Chains A and B, each alone.
Chain A
Amino acid sequence: GENVEQHPSTLSVQEGDSAVIKCTYSDSASNYFPWYKQELGKRPQLIIDIRSNVGEKKDQRIAVTLNKTAKHFSLHITETQPEDSAVYFCAFQDHRGGGADGLTFGKGTHLIIQP
């Protein structure tokens, strides 16, 4: 089946520095790429998403870039804060048929913000 590789699995950065997480996907027909943040024991929360008609999207300190030719997309967090510490998942929407298909998730990146 389709899959997505996510790197790194763990990322430790100093508070105030930037963090970058990268994902590479296999389904060339994908057109929707969300990023979720999950705190320990909680549900995943959407933080930003991008659709294939744009190459970059920004929301305050968070940005996502997409390179469809290379089939990879990245999450950028600037001016990191302690509350950014969590596990981050990239995902893409498969095309199994119909308009509402499931997501394929990466294995996650544990982001640690060092004070």
Chain B
Amino acid sequence: DGGITQSPKYLFRKEGQNVTLSCEQNLNHDAMYWYRQDPGQGLRLIYYSQIVNDFQKGDIAEGYSVSREKKESFPLTVTSAQKNPTAFYLCASSTRLAGGGDTQYFGPGTRLTVL
């Protein structure tokens, strides 16, 4: 998981602003994921991408957008439409096995606070 980086580590946003969280990996993984973690809760899937130029919505995609123009990069934009964006955001990546069961490795996370 040392090959996955996220920036910034901390991010403060005013209400009504869009912000973009960066996620980069040098593990040559095909698949990348974004999760959100709230205090005392498990992780919830926002978006995932199995291959360049393709991505799918997860369980809580409303108010978020992503792009996958390069294999190593999967940025997440938190839009003003996201009603409660304050959370810990975690990016992950994995190989893409045909039968599934591919281990997901996590980046260090970005802690977003809306002021």
Contacts and interface: CB of A to CB of B under 8 A. Distances in A.
A89 B41 CA distance: 10
Contacts, number: 83
Interface in A56-115: 89, 91, 93, 95-108
B85 interface: no
Nearest to A89: B42
B97 interface: yes
B68 interface: no
B45 A99 contact: no
Highest count of chain B CB atoms <10 Å: which of A34, A45, A100, A108: A100
Q: Chain B: interface residue count, which band?
A: 20 to 34
Contacts of B1: 43, 45
Interface residues of A, number: 29
B72 to A, nearest CB: 16
B109 to A, nearest CB: 6
A6 B42 CA distance: 10
Contact of A95 (B48, B50, B100): B100
A93 B100 contact: yes
Contacts of B30: 100
Contact of A107 (B41, B100, B105, B108): B41
Interface of A: 1, 6, 31-32, 34, 42-46, 49, 51, 89, 91, 93, 95-108
